[in-house]
Amino acid sequence: MMTINSEINRIISVLQKYKTFVLTSHVHPDGDGLGSELALYHYLKCNGKYVHIINDSPLPASYQFMDPEKKIFKQYDNSDGNMIQGIDVVIVLDISVMHRLGAVGKAVERSEAIRLRIDHHTSNNFDADIVLIDDKAVATGELVYNIFKQDSCTVNVEMAEALYIALLSDTGCFRFSNTNERAFKLGADLMNLGVDHSKIYNNLFANDSWKKTRLYAKAIGSLECFADGKIALMYISKAMIKDSGASYEDIEGFAEFAKRIKGVQISVLLVEQKNNNVKFSFRSVNNIPVDKLAGQFKGGGHKNASAAILHSTTLEKAKVQILNAANSYVTDH
């Protein structure tokens, strides 16, 4: 079995040898996926490579500060499919299942490009030529940073800021259960490279719109408790989004709220989508493996944070299914 260091060396060889690259991440990308993409983008550009970041979803409004001139992140369209066919290397970041690439995934499957996958999720059914996985990493951005270190490259401020976005996003600004010594060490390293913590924090966590805030209030108003307070569930309907004037991308971070309530072991957020599907996000405390819970619905993620989608259903039907499944995961402690 390949060691992590040997896999990193194989990735470095590919990055050095080839000329053209496409970087991509999952639908509705978060700060870890976007930050990892942006850090690799600057690394490759500094090394004279031709590189494109192409995602199925547009850059969320809350991350527009990462690309103020709108020249780096691109939403996939059909013309990109032809371009991906002729690319040397596709790097897939922060994702463990192909279908979460959305439309980009179909183009990647057709392409003969070398496929690299860099991720810190435990589930793995994504076919790639080189796979770098470390589920102990606090974020995919940590693995990207390790590539830079092993390559002995100069990590400039742009690269460091992108990685810090990945770190703060996936640790909830050092609040989530994955916050450990590795997280603080990575944060210190990046700050030593010139990252301004306050600037990144304010952009990520202190920049909510009134529309998002109104939607948040409606979501909290839907909150219910089950299993003697061990399960908390709230939902967001299409009508709530319309009435608040918010968008789906404004929902990021909402799933964390109910986990802060004393006694809650699993928090659930249901989101009614435009196509009659219901997306749900799980958050848990201690050793409750909600990645396995999400896996029952063909989803996945981390042990304490996961998600999945129920197709062609309603919020009420989804609620019943999710609660029936989640009840067996809560404990008497």
What pLDDT shows up at residue 301?
82
1 pLDDT more than 50: no
The dotted CATH code for 4-205 is 3.90.1640.10
What tens digit of pLDDT does each residue of 182-215 get?
A: 999 999 999 999 999 999 999 999 989 999 999 9
Please state the rounded mean pLDDT for residues 150-158.
Answer: 95
333 pLDDT more than 80: no
What pLDDT shows up at residue 114?
96
Dig out the tokens for 285 from the structure: 């405390």
- The owner of tokens 């790097």 is 91
3-state secondary structure of 213: helix
What tens digit of pLDDT does each residue of 238-279 get?
A: 999 999 999 988 898 899 999 999 999 999 999 999 888 999
Please state the rounded mean pLDDT for residues 205-230.
Answer: 95
Architecture of the domain defined by 210-329 = Roll (3.10)
User: Which residue did the predictor score with more confidence, 239 or 27?
Assistant: 239
What pLDDT shows up at residue 180?
94
d(CA 21, CA 18): 8
173 pLDDT more than 90: yes
Percent of the chain with pLDDT over 70: 98
Domain ranges of the chain: 4-205, 210-329
Q: What are phi and psi of 293, to 5 degrees?
A: -60, -45
Dig out the tokens for 8 from the structure: 């990193």
228 pLDDT more than 80: yes
Q: What are phi and psi of 239, to 5 degrees?
A: -65, -40
d(CA 16, CA 211): 45
- Average model confidence (pLDDT) for the chain? 93
d(CA 230, CA 211): 30
What tens digit of pLDDT does each residue of 78-105 get?
A: 889 889 999 999 999 998 778 788 899 8
Smallest CA-to-CA distance from 166 within 181, 183, 151 is with: 183
49 pLDDT more than 50: yes
